[in-house]
Amino acid sequence: MDKSHYEEMLSNLDRLLQNRLIQNKKIYLFGHCNATEELAKLLMEKGFSVEAILDNNKAKQGRQFCGIMVQAPEIILAETAEDTAVCIVARAYAEMADQLKRLGYQGAVYKLADYNTYAEYCLSNETIASKKARVKKGIHLLREMERKYPKCFRILCPFAALGDVYYAMSYLPSFLEKRKTYSLGFDGCVIGVIGRACAEVVKIFGDYQTEILSQEEMDYIVQAILYTKDTGSFVAHQDRPYVINLHKALYAKCIPLEQIYCCGVFGLPKETKASRPIRLHQYADLEQIKEGRAVIFSPYAKSVTELPDALWDEMVEDCLNRGYQCFTNVVGAEKPLSNTMPISPAISEIQSVAERAGTFIGIRSGICDVLKEAKCRKVALYPDYNYCDTKWKAIDIYALEGWENIEVSDEEIQRLFRSIWGREKHRADYDKEIAEEVTGNGTGKRTHSGKHRSEEKDT
């Protein structure tokens, strides 16, 4: 959960408490996600108990988070309406509130965060009125952007997510060539992103002009672009209803995020070659890292369910016992894992850090996408949860080619260690593979399983 929405959630929760709207109530949360977990933690820290987390996904029902059971929404009908409150911090507030109403629940429902307002799928009078107000503000911001960047085609990346920006930039050159923007009177382009970290991702792809926006400003501008059908702007959005070309990528059971951007967002053929980062820098203190004998841990992700601290602690201990030097990649106020050293490379420097260390182990997050081209051992860990309301697990959607993608289940941690270290490769093996790829003598392209395509059976 990003900082701005966390602060919004905190402010709205304080307002509920000041007005005594949830005291002495049975509190339910709707929609199991990272933001809901953050809200549950806040409530428990303030001395409240949460009855249950409501969720439509049957694969999640019956599981627990911090002792809170995930259950079907229908269970709330057993409660007395005046004694109950439902708090929603998930994105689909309008749909969830409507579902509760259709179920027959008549108690209080509170929204604690407002995400991507342009993506609301609701025709209520309240939503329509608020959209009109946003469009007006958005048109003003869009005109300011036009004056600041004259004759520039505008690309808006509405997600404050490193991976989304990375894939948007990977296929932007091919998209601009397809659109023939320069023949339409544009001399260049400007990329609108949320926050400095996303702007750093843009910069590793070249000398692009970048406009850093707040989430609110981005929402207003996107709303205006959609309403005015502005032909000088393009919204690089990978969600419904903006993605309309997915039939071009339907050659796999689950469409990878990269292909969603290539085919779904930009409408490019699936064989389009992605652009690679060209402005990478070397971390200034590389000498502090043992070459090929260090592990960079990355346990933090703002939009992913956290993995247990005990798992990280035991993994660090296991690495130390094997003689590895251990670092934790941290940003801002994030704290390093126990018995590891903090390291904070810039986005443009982190590839040099991972390659020097030889091993990167992290929860699946946008930083993994940024390290897509890194020549080192890369392990992505996935919490054992389903993607939205589909039957596919997150690992099915977000698996990375060239990585060891490992799902962290509720089973013993030692099984995870065996899964990781049982497939350990020495640095020399990677150097050999890289050399083969460069000279063209390799046996095939590596897949996300770590095998070569020539080794895999046809399915």
Assigned CATH for 286-455: 3.40.50.2000
CATH topology identical between 3-115 and 286-455: yes
Topology, domain 3-115: Rossmann fold (3.40.50)
**How many angstroms from the chain centroid is the CA of residue 398?**
10
Token digits of residue 381: 């860990």
Q: What is the spatial distance between Cα 235 and Cα 217, in angstroms, rounded to a whole number?
A: 14
Residue 376: Cβ within 10 Å count: 20
Could you read off the pLDDT tens digit of each residue along the chain, which spans 459 residues? 666 677 888 888 988 998 899 999 999 999 888 788 889 999 999 999 999 999 988 878 888 887 899 999 999 999 998 999 999 988 778 788 889 999 999 999 999 887 655 555 555 666 677 778 888 999 999 999 999 999 999 999 998 899 999 999 999 999 999 887 666 668 889 999 999 999 999 999 999 999 999 988 998 999 899 889 999 999 998 765 455 555 544 455 567 889 889 988 898 998 999 999 999 999 999 999 999 999 999 999 877 777 888 889 989 998 999 999 999 999 988 999 999 999 999 999 999 999 999 999 999 999 999 999 999 999 999 887 666 545 567 787 788 999 998 888 655 455 666 666 665 544 445 455 555 554 555 443 333 333 333 333 333
pLDDT at 409: 66
Contacts of 450 (CB under 8 A, 6+ apart): 403, 404, 423
pTM over 0.85: no
On the question of a cis peptide bond just before residue 241, with omega within 30 degrees of 0, the verdict is yes
Name which of 319, 330, 267 is nearest 295 in CA terms.
319
Residue-range domain boundaries for the chain: 3-115, 132-265, 286-455
The residue assigned the tokens 């590793």 is 204
pLDDT at 116: 53
